[in-house]
Amino acid sequence: MIRTESIHIPFTYAAGGTSSIFLAALRDEARILATPCPACDTVICPARSSCPACGGPTATPVDVGPAGTLVSWTELADGTTLALVRLDGADTSLVHRLAGGDGTWVAGQRLRARFGESRTGAITDIVGFESENGAGR
Amino acid sequence: MRSVAVVGTGQTKHARRRDDVSQAELVREAADAALADADMCAEDIEAVLIGNMELFEGRGLPELWVGGGAYGTGKPVMKVATGGTSGTSTAIAAFHQVGSGLFDRVLAVGFEKHSEGHTQTGMALTDPFWDRAVASGALGNFALSVSQYVAAGHATEDQAALVAVKARRNAARNPHAHLQMPDLTVDEVLASKMLAHPLRMLDMCPQSDGAAAIIVASDAVAREHNPRPAWVKATATRHDQCYIGDLDRRLLSMRTLRDASAHAYTQAGITDPVRDLDVAEIYEPCTYAELAWYEALGFCEAGEAGRLVEKGVTSMTGALPVNPSGGVLSTNPVGASGVIRVAEAACQIHGRAGQRQVERADLALATGYGVYAWADVVVLGSEP
Ligand SMILES: [Zn+2]
């Protein structure tokens, strides 16, 4: 005998203090914040309360981007893209999508964040990253 | 720590679906095979460790539902969870339980019934703020790092295809393996569907139903129960940062596996792994990963892994056969996959690997991989 069913699981999830500041700045001012780690001398984006490398406390958030460089990208079978983008001023990469263009992307190319019109306090308030010289390449 | 050995191994037949058994029965099948292999009965087992990827099946608390199947009733039972490395971590936990003197006979069993869940959903249950909103699970994550690895000139698609062919042809000699493709060719791999550039269908591991178990015993017990115990020479585990943007050269550096293997080699006295090891069972989620692991494991210099597979160094007749079982590319019940690596390495030392047995297996390597967040390394040997 085989039983088939599905489960819907409601949940909530707290971003935490520093990441909430990041998400509010994204929503309210279309700014991208990162946190410097004084111990590692690196700037971590998205902003977090502790350094992912050394575990130490981070300093007051600073602005990074909205321009940056494409580190790596892929295209899935459904046509969606996935990219690592190193924003200017940051030492880590943001995981995001590429927007517009003809689908030809090259690691090392310059990109710029495109912000959505109505923003909700989510990483998708950045719709995606487009070529710095306009959509696509 | 006192000497510890693997004295018995057992595996189910792995397949796309095992509708003929419940999860508890699947676990029982592997446990019974391992007990028989160790010439032990269920009453001999003092403690049970379980490895499984929670949420890959449609129910929580797997250790509750399969504990009895693993002969755990009335005994200490717990689940060990470290993502994809769960199976190797479960084995390592058993080594520590016996090595510490806590128990003399421990059963470690890993299982997964991918067919009963929705793996893509399980893999997509990542951090809702940063990952889930933009990424779509393991495939995109792999593809990002693989495209970087390829862009850096470390492997070509033809070299990756050779890994796919090696794995599925080896699997044809393993009666437990899921995907057995004795006649697979490079052209067929290259013609398979593109899933996420540059990863094709046949570059990726399958999703399998299956279970694997090992019996771990202390020194004196081990000698009673196996004429050629597989002694634990070294273990090492490493965790790393979870956000893929924080370590954006992951496949190129793979520092978890690099650090863990360096630590394990020191413990085991290995200075040249290709020369010193007789066989390796490594956890390779895709073809390119196997090549990257060759570099991280010190089998070759950076960028030389493709040539290693071209020269057949890691084939069954090469200097260091890698994955005689067919590896994860041929069989992947995730919670079991790490246990399978350790079981296969032990089985080679025991001299019980049948048609996939390598000549003179005195030192064997097994590894586990949990996305980029975990790596486990185990070295087993014919001498304590
Ligand atoms: Zn730091």
**pLDDT, tens digit (0-9, with 9 covering 90-100), for A70-80:** 999 988 888 88
pLDDT tens digits along B316-372: 999 999 999 999 999 999 999 999 999 999 999 999 999 999 999 999 999 999 877
Q: What is the mean pLDDT of residues A120-125?
A: 96
Local confidence band at B134 (pLDDT 50, 70, 90 cut-offs): confident
The label of the residue with tokens 């025991």 reads: B350
Confidence band, pLDDT 50/70/90 cuts, at residue B1: confident
Q: Domains in chain B, ordered, with CATH?
A: 4-119+208-225 (3.40.47.10), 133-206+232-381 (3.40.47.10)
Residue A22's domain comprises 17-131
- Considering the entire predicted model, what is its pTM? 0.96
- Percentage of chain A exceeding pLDDT 70: 97
Q: Answer yes or no: are the C-beta atoms of A89 and A34 closer than 8 Å.
A: yes
Q: How many angstroms does the Cα of residue B313 sit away from the middle of ligand 1?
A: 41
Residue A57: inside a domain, yes or no?
yes
Report the distance separating Cα B250 and Cα A39, nearest Å: 22
Contact (CB<8Å) B194/A13: no
pLDDT (0 to 100) of residue A136: 45
The Cα of A112 is separated from the nearest Cα of chain B by a number of Å equal to 17
> Quick check: is A58 in a domain?
yes
pLDDT surpasses 50 at A137? no
DSSP state of B174: -
Q: Does A134 have pLDDT greater than 70?
A: no
Does residue A4 form part of some domain? no
Which pLDDT belongs to residue B136?
62
Q: Is residue A115 part of a domain?
A: yes
pLDDT digits (tens, 9 = 90+) for A11-31: 999 999 999 999 999 999 999
As for how many domains chain A has, the answer is 1
> Distance, in angstroms, between B196 CA and closest chain A CA?
4
Q: Evaluate if residue A101 carries a pLDDT over 80.
A: no
The 10s digit of each residue's pLDDT in B240-274 is: 998 989 987 788 889 999 999 999 999 999 999 99
Q: What ipTM describes this predicted complex? A: 0.90
Quick one: average pLDDT of B148-167?
A: 95
What local confidence, expressed as pLDDT, does residue B58 receive? 82
Contact A44 B244 (CB under 8 A): no
Which chain B residues have a beta carbon less than 8 Å from that of A25? none
> Lowest-confidence range among A47-51, A53-57, B133-137, B362-366?
B133-137
Residue B347 contacts residue B281 (beta carbons within 8 Å): no
For the stretch B303-329, pLDDT in tens is 999 999 999 999 999 999 999 999 999
User: Within 10 Å of residue A17's Cβ, how many Cβ atoms?
Assistant: 10
Q: Between β-strands B230-239 and B4-11, what pairing exists: parallel, antiparallel or unpaired?
A: antiparallel
Residue A116 lies in a domain: yes
Q: What's the pLDDT at A128?
A: 95
Q: How far is CA B145 from the centre of its chain?
A: 20
Axis-axis angle for helices B255-268, B287-296 (nearest 10): 50
pLDDT in tens, B43-96: 999 999 999 998 888 888 999 999 999 999 999 999 999 999 999 999 999 999
* C-alpha to C-alpha distance for B355 and B20, rounded to whole angstroms: 27
pLDDT for B135 beyond 50: yes
- pLDDT cut 90: percent of chain B above it: 85
Q: Per the domain annotation, does A11 fall within a domain? A: no
Asked whether residue A64 is assigned to any structural domain, the reply reads: yes
Which residues of B lie inside 8 Å of A (Cβ-Cβ)?
A: 19, 58, 128-131, 133-136, 139-141, 143-148, 151, 193-197, 241-246, 248
Q: Which helix (H) or strand (E) holds B189?
A: helix B186-191
What is the rounded average pLDDT for all residues in chain B?
A: 95
Q: Note residues around ion ligand 1 (Cβ under 5 angstroms).
A: A 37, 39-40, 51, 53-54, 56
